[in-house]
Structure 1
Amino acid sequence: MSDIRDEVVEDRGVIKKIQLIFPGYHGYRINEDLRDADIILKDELYKRMLGIIDQLKGGEAALVRNGIFKNLDLLGVSRSKMQTSAENLKHHGAGYSGISAPVRVTTQKISALYDLDMKIFDQIQSLESSVRAFIAGCEAGNLDIAKLQGVNAALANIDDLNNSRDRLLYGGV
């Protein structure tokens, strides 16, 4: 995935370019552009997670078509956890860089948030691979618990990274 931060900088309009000239706005504009890039990336992460959830639903339907009902509840639990993770990704704070914000979020912190979200992006790609392997088994009529555990482990990695956001922003809250 290309670096969205560069795309946001390239898409600056006239007013945003003028803001860069004024000393009081220069740092603010740079921080807001970084924050916008992180928000765009988080939206993409959320969309990918929803796509993975849809794939799991397809795997569940394939199992039902093949008459496999045992342990479907485990798949439902995984799907529910994945939905929760997706919502957490979508709604987690991006770091406000305002002039009088209660917690100062520096350019370095906002960049670190973006880098964290790129790590989550990489983990989502790993999750997609795990889900594809699991679904291939479902379509063949096999609910492979070990592969489902691999899906859950990949999801746990995403949750761990996302939960580190507050520590990054607020220093151990």
Structure 2
Amino acid sequence: MNKELNKSVKHYTIEDLEEILDKLPYQIWLKDEDGKYVYINKLGIEKVGLSKEDIIGKSDYDIRDYNIAKQCAETDRVLIDKNHDIYNEEQSNIDGQDIYHKVHKFIVNQNTTKKNLIGGIAEEISLDKKIQLELESNLLSYLDESKIEDDSKNILHSTLVSLKKFIKCKNIEIFLYDEDKKKFQLIFK
């Protein structure tokens, strides 16, 4: 006998959905129209550096550096005023290090209370952005063939230093295959 699931009955719990959100590699949050957090996932909690209890019910001004909080509040206000999704890249400086995020903010309508929630998803793109900025700043050097090899090694070295910090490892080694010698050669360590 083939039993058909009743489509109006949900076969999952809020805890199931929150577990999924906690496993995603993105910071995910919900705020009320006053900018107070009503939900934040595990990665978001880790990035803020406080407990979930210390975040829920608070605004960005309560839990973040003033400049970052101001930036968050400004985009929240634009989102509410214009009532359309916002996709942007945000930069902040934490402990002297530039941090970049791709951020998507949106309105979540709550038909039951007639209030809206501000939803957000952020992905850290600091390493990608650093590589992009280095490539852009060295674009003219790439056009000068006499400088290509030296500049490329410097860019690669700088990128590896950033990558080591980002993935928190001690060492990265790069080997390139030399066709003439028919063997791999250590290029960077």
> Which fold has the larger relative contact order, with Cα–Cα distance below 8 Å and residues 6 or more apart in sequence?
1
TM-score by length of structure 2 reads 0.28
Structure with the higher strand share, 1 or 2: 2
Structure with the higher helix share, 1 or 2: 1
TM-score by length of structure 1 reads 0.30
Greater radius of gyration (CA): 2
